[in-house]
Amino acid sequence: MKKLLIIILLAGAFSTVNAGLPGHFAGGGYYGPRTTVVIGGYYSPFYPSFGYYGYPYYGAYRIPYQPSKLDQQIADIIHDYDQKIASVRMDENLPGKERRREIRELKAARDKEIDIAKREYYKK
């Protein structure tokens, strides 16, 4: 009986010690030690702004996207037509069928104007 009690106590002690070790097996997979980086008073367990040892991620050196003139022109066209479509939707004097017809016409005109802008941009 003493041997059984000693085996159970040792097994329990071993399992708690194993859970505290730097790398241990849990749930069928190996989990390495958790690393915490403290840089100048900044605590970051998941490294959102800094990589390992305080070096920034490579993404920090990327140049932000600069939209082309075509992108800006298309955005302006879409914005103008969105305003026109919104004003037609808010117009309570038009019946539903005419309102939907005008919205379809405005969307078709918007797409046509975007195509024309693309053609002119790529002709240059």
- Identify the weakest region by mean pLDDT among 59-63, 72-76, 81-85: 59-63
Place of tokens 């749930």: 27
Who's near 45: CB < 8 A, 6+ residues apart? Answer: 34, 36, 37
pLDDT recorded at residue 2: 79
84-118 tens-digit pLDDT: 999 999 998 999 899 999 999 999 999 999 999 99
Q: What percent of the chain has pLDDT over 90?
A: 41
| Percent share of the chain, pLDDT over 70 | 56
Whether 39 and 47 have beta carbons less than 8 Å apart is answered as: no
Q: pTM of this prediction?
A: 0.49
